[in-house]
Structure 1
């Protein structure tokens, strides 16, 4: 991590203070013209960020009439760090060198003396130092900006690559769902329809009608999911039509088990809470149907001023459960959904041999 730079006003104040110290050490108060020029050069540094060239020009009189050159060097550094005009910087360095070599009002510039060339080289080096330093700072700043652009470009490229891979996976998944899962569910619906028409047993016909209805509903949801997967990163689309509280009675009636719904909820709850309640009841009834054949269930939903409580309790099963495939992600998903909304999910067996699942959510979860 690069060190944090001091605030610009603080840095300007430090430079002005250093310039005033330079004036105090090199300018005699008995010479008002030189003192005024030196003080003007010191306070001109306050303009160096907005008007760097003008600031440098304002500091030159102090260089011409006195030895207080710190303000001019600071202004020259600022100009070099902000401009890309190399010719201008060369001219400014030469002007500073000549101004420092000239001592007004009595200039002493004897080219016949060898010491003059030594002084000229020293002064030129003094002028070149802030120019090179300013150009170095400018190059470093440009390099940092370029590196930041490259980093953003790489991040964007990684995102594009990830989106491309995801699009291919979504397309492959959509193809498998269409070619395999949808085909098999269609066969289930057809065979259930045949059984519903051909059977003479009323209970069998009712079971076949339930299987056919659920198969058709599953096919509709599968088609919607396939269309979303084939979109591959297009505009946001809900994976399936999102349920609400008004769909709870139909869910309980079509659960395939004997279940009762007791609720005092209204439709005024936030949509995420309504979806969480629906999915919790759906998962609980599905588990009852899979793991507790012959059991009955009671769904109780209560809403006080701050909390929504959902309890699904089933009795003990009356016959052995059939072995069915399960990834055991249903209850985990319910707990994660509840935690995202600031709630909790608890579950476990009852003393009567049944099972109970409880959900508690803040009523204002969003």
Structure 2
């Protein structure tokens, strides 16, 4: 930090010293006017960063009156490193070359400029071009470094956004799996415990069933809260592996805890995403029937007609009081999202006999 703070003042002091030494070696400190020009040109270098063009103008007299060129060349470099005007640099280079070529003081007899001065003009242009090109190179290097820094920042920001997107997708996947798998099993435990609590006459068994049901309800409530938090990411639903298929549909219906019939009429195998969507739809419908329509019977139909796979789950009206289980209605939202991702649609609602139906339609492209 100390060196960074002292670097610029020391650099400026060193350049002023170089300019004065150049004037001294060239014999430009003999007369009062030459000394004044060299002093002004050298001192002006202290302002070369803030006002490069005025500093260059202040160094021009020393080029005209003597061979002290260091101050003007340093000023030309500073101007080239900070300006973007090529025409301005060309004019300044021409001024430098003209002052270098012109004799001072001007002769009283004869022409001021002769053919023999052309090499001096070319030499002066070459001297002016060297610091100008070096300054432009430094400016280009500075611009390139700034551009690379900007690109690095943009890339880091993109990587951060990509990481956030992946995290959001994982959270959405986890929320879906918690709702579709864990909540399904816990709600089944709660329903079975409630049925045992009502039907058993053994006090110990009744107490155990009450405890199991109470803990299951609390677990469902906590799961509902966790799913709400995970779904706050707002990411579109994605899948986790491994995922169920239609081959497991019979097992799902057989172990759902309610009276249910399954009818499948399909032509060939379906794509894995469609199979997962059907499985999750049936699973959610059976869970809702078990929770909200105890004692009802359920019919599950999966059929493939006219390029569309229709899955219908219909349950009758409940025959027993409904158990108060927590629900946040995330299941139907997730099912609609699955259906929309596959170009399908989900409909649900009550039936005329006070039951409930859920219908999933997914178009299937011809093989």
Q: State the TM-score, normalizing by the size of structure 2.
A: 0.58
Deviation sequence 1:182-210 (CA, Å, 0-9, x none): 11111112222223333333333333233
Structure showing greater relative contact order (alpha-carbon pairs closer than 8 Å, 6 or more residues apart): 2
User: Could you say if the C-alpha distance between residues 145 and 233 of structure 1 is closer, same or farther in structure 2, counting changes exceeding 3 Å?
Assistant: farther
User: Could you say if the C-alpha distance between residues 111 and 5 of structure 1 is closer, same or farther in structure 2, counting changes exceeding 3 Å?
Assistant: farther
**2:184 aligned residue:** 183
**2:197 aligned residue:** 196
Matches of 1:14 and 1:224, distance apart in 2: 70
**8 Å contact 2:100–2:120 — kept in the other structure?**
no
Deviation sequence 1:282-322 (CA, Å, 0-9, x none): xxxxxxxxxxxxxxxxxxxxxxxxxxxxxxxxxxxxxxxxx
**1:137 aligned residue:** 138
**8 Å contact 1:47–1:55 — kept in the other structure?**
yes
Matches of 1:175 and 1:181, distance apart in 2: 10
**1:325 aligned residue:** none
> Once the 2 structures are TM-superposed, how far is the Cα of residue 46 of structure 1 from its aligned partner?
0.7
Matches of 1:91 and 1:57, distance apart in 2: 12
**2:94 aligned residue:** 94
User: Could you say if the C-alpha distance between residues 133 and 5 of structure 1 is closer, same or farther in structure 2, counting changes exceeding 3 Å?
Assistant: farther
**1:75 aligned residue:** 75
SS where residue 115 of structure 2 aligns?
coil
**1:50 aligned residue:** 50
**1:208 aligned residue:** 209
**1:262 aligned residue:** none
**2:267 aligned residue:** none
> Once the 2 structures are TM-superposed, how far is the Cα of residue 136 of structure 1 from its aligned partner?
0.7
**2:38 aligned residue:** 38
Matches of 2:29 and 2:137, distance apart in 1: 37
User: Could you say if the C-alpha distance between residues 72 and 7 of structure 1 is closer, same or farther in structure 2, counting changes exceeding 3 Å?
Assistant: same
Deviation sequence 1:23-73 (CA, Å, 0-9, x none): 221235430111011011001011111111111111111111111110111
User: Could you say if the C-alpha distance between residues 152 and 30 of structure 1 is closer, same or farther in structure 2, counting changes exceeding 3 Å?
Assistant: closer
Matches of 1:203 and 1:176, distance apart in 2: 35
**1:269 aligned residue:** none
> Is 1:172 aligned to 2:199, yes or no?
no
**1:222 aligned residue:** 223
Matches of 2:114 and 2:211, distance apart in 1: 111
> Once the 2 structures are TM-superposed, how far is the Cα of residue 165 of structure 1 from its aligned partner?
2.6
**8 Å contact 2:28–2:66 — kept in the other structure?**
no
**8 Å contact 1:66–1:103 — kept in the other structure?**
no
**8 Å contact 1:23–1:39 — kept in the other structure?**
no
Q: State the TM-score, normalizing by the size of structure 1.
A: 0.58
**8 Å contact 2:190–2:217 — kept in the other structure?**
yes
Matches of 1:121 and 1:99, distance apart in 2: 12
Matches of 1:109 and 1:210, distance apart in 2: 114
Matches of 1:47 and 1:19, distance apart in 2: 14
User: Aligned pair count?
Assistant: 229
Matches of 2:38 and 2:212, distance apart in 1: 97
User: Gapped runs of 5+ residues in structure 2?
Assistant: 236-367
SS where residue 55 of structure 1 aligns?
helix
Matches of 1:233 and 1:70, distance apart in 2: 66
> Does 160-169 or 142-151 show the bigger shift?
160-169
Matches of 2:234 and 2:135, distance apart in 1: 48
User: Gapped runs of 5+ residues in structure 1?
Assistant: 235-366
Deviation sequence 1:129-183 (CA, Å, 0-9, x none): 1111111111111111111111222222222222223322222221111111111
**1:112 aligned residue:** 115
Q: CA RMSD in A?
A: 2.2
**8 Å contact 1:185–1:215 — kept in the other structure?**
yes
Matches of 2:59 and 2:83, distance apart in 1: 18
User: Could you say if the C-alpha distance between residues 231 and 48 of structure 1 is closer, same or farther in structure 2, counting changes exceeding 3 Å?
Assistant: same
User: Could you say if the C-alpha distance between residues 15 and 28 of structure 1 is closer, same or farther in structure 2, counting changes exceeding 3 Å?
Assistant: closer
**8 Å contact 1:27–1:35 — kept in the other structure?**
no
**8 Å contact 1:60–1:72 — kept in the other structure?**
yes
Structure of greater Rg? 2
SS where residue 7 of structure 1 aligns?
helix
